[in-house]
Amino acid sequence: MTALRRKIHTAMSILCYRSGLCTLPYAPLISTVGITTRCNARCRFCASHGSGSTILRPCARKHEDMPLREFERILDTFPRRFDSLGLSDFGEPLIHPHFPEFARACWRRGVRYNITTNGQHTTDEIIRAIHIYPPQEINWSLYATTQEAYEFIFPGGDVEKTKANLRRLLRTMAPRTVMRLRTIPIPALRGQAENIMKEFPNCQYDFDNWLDSWAGRVDVSHFDPEWKKHTARSAHCLQPWWHCWINSAGGIMTCNVLDEPIGHVDDGLMNVWNGNAYREVRRNILAGKRVGRCEGCDYRNNMTGW
Ligand code: SF4
């Protein structure tokens, strides 16, 4: 998808949102097709894989891989509907046993894709695939450069392993791929943003004030006593006018906060997009209420500045 088409789509989404339309005259962009909901990590703020006192209500999705054939079918069924396509949805894409083939499937169809990864499972085969079929962007959840700080987020994780993998990948990665290193500004990770920039200069960085409770599933006060500064207060959200997500079972979601999909790709994208359930979500958001499927959501809709 070209930048111009993306801008037109976004402008149309904002216009329809502001006009209070619940039935939309256009199809959504598909922002994510999650290729797996499995993960090798057990991060303390992850509602899908974390455990212990930080998790108030686990995300009830099944942990499974999307078959390659199903992924290719989705790419072929909805051509030109992909905004830079995320392959990560509550799962670690690099542990999918066929990740190189997924990268190739995107590349062959001209679909720009991006991944979010903890970088622990970066084999030579994956590094080669990323070199040959370069993603547009890699969001590397590095969080810290010291083991103690890293383990605060990822118990049992090995920071030296992820750093070594990152160095190997940076040596061969195509210049067109943006490497974005992430951490979160919370007390336990103080100073880590500076460490990351020092150890890995010439990358891009995401040190946003982001700490999501995943609709109240995660007790973010464990991470920052001043947790309120991280969460959005606004009831507004553009997602149901703009994008949709597809999970690893082909379910269509308004965003990645939901447990249950709102429909399935086999039901027809437009049928689901303008079906009762989607329209109800839009009506509630327009009424300023985060209820029903959106109950407890504290997603920060930075896109529109609300
Ligand atoms: S759950 Fe949150 S991010 Fe998803 S559509 Fe509702 S308000 Fe938007």
One-letter amino acid for residue 302 of the chain? N
Q: Which of 95, 123, 111, 81 is nearest to 103 (CA)?
A: 111
Cα(294) to centroid(ligand 1), Å: 5
pLDDT of residue 40: 93
Q: Whose CA is nearest to atom 6 of ligand 1?
A: 294
Q: Which atom of ligand 1 is nearest to the CA of 257?
A: 1
Q: With beta carbons less than 8 A apart as the criterion, state whether 142 and 113 touch.
A: no
pLDDT tens profile 235-257: 678 999 999 999 999 999 998 88
CA 77 from chain centre, in angstroms, equals 22
What is the average pLDDT across 33-43?
94
Q: Which atom of ligand 1 is nearest to the CA of 256?
A: 4
Q: For ligand 1, pick from 233, 280, 299 the residue to mutate: most ligand atoms within 8 Å of CB.
A: 299
Pocket of ligand 1 (CB under 6 A): 237, 239-240, 254-255, 257, 281, 290, 294, 297, 299
* Average pLDDT value for the chain: 90
CA-based torsion, 80, 72, 256, 223: positive or negative: negative
Q: Whose CA is nearest to atom 4 of ligand 1?
A: 255
d(CA 28, CA 245): 9
C-alpha torsion angle, residues 49, 51, 54, 55 (rounded to 10) = 70
* Residue 232 pLDDT > 80: no
What are 67's two structure tokens? Answer: 């078959």
Q: With beta carbons less than 8 A apart as the criterion, state whether 154 and 41 touch.
A: yes
pLDDT tens profile 194-211: 999 999 999 999 998 677
Q: Which atom of ligand 1 is nearest to the CA of 255?
A: 4
Q: Whose CA is nearest to atom 1 of ligand 1?
A: 294
pLDDT of residue 235: 65
* Residue 301 pLDDT > 80: no
pLDDT tens profile 61-87: 888 999 999 999 999 999 889 988 999
d(CA 132, CA 124): 12
d(CA 183, CA 86): 19
Q: What percent of the chain shows pLDDT beyond 90?
A: 68
Q: Which atom of ligand 1 is nearest to the CA of 285?
A: 7
Cα(246) to centroid(ligand 1), Å: 15
Residue 118: pLDDT band with limits 50, 70, 90: very high
